[in-house]
């Protein structure tokens, strides 16, 4: 398991480097197409609105903004408020 502080630092570092954009937690488009074959998952597809709802909940539970950026309060809570200096303005 990755600690919340380490995950937040990684996420902020990637945001600061431009490697991530806000709300960049996305699945590849192939996940939204029906699966082929004859097995139990044949025809199964993901609903983009369900993923959006799950992502909103994930960000909320982590103390991040709706755009997927750790809030200053969460960074203080994790003891890594200095990481906020790396966030793009």
For 45-63, write each residue's pLDDT tens digit: 888 898 889 889 988 998 8
| CA pair distance 50, 77, nearest whole angstrom | 29
| CATH of the domain spanning 4-86 | 1.10.599.10
| CA pair distance 28, 75, nearest whole angstrom | 29
Under a CB-based contact definition with an 8 Å cutoff, are residues 80 and 70 in contact? Answer: no
Domain boundaries, the chain: 4-86
At residue 19's C-alpha, the angle toward residues 28 and 62, to 5°, is 75
Per-residue pLDDT of 13-33, as tens digits, reads: 777 766 666 566 778 888 888
């Amino acid at each position: 398991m990755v600690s919340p502080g380490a995950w937040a630092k990684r996420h902020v570092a990637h945001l600061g480097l431009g490697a991530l954009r806000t709300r960049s937690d996305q699945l590849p488009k192939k996940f939204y197409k029906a699966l082929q074959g004859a097995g139990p998952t044949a025809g199964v597809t993901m609903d983009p609105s369900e993923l959006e709802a799950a992502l909103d909940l994930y960000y909320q539970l982590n103390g991040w903004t709706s755009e997927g950026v750790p809030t200053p309060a969460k960074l203080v809570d994790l003891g890594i408020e200095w990481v906020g200096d790396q966030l793009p303005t």
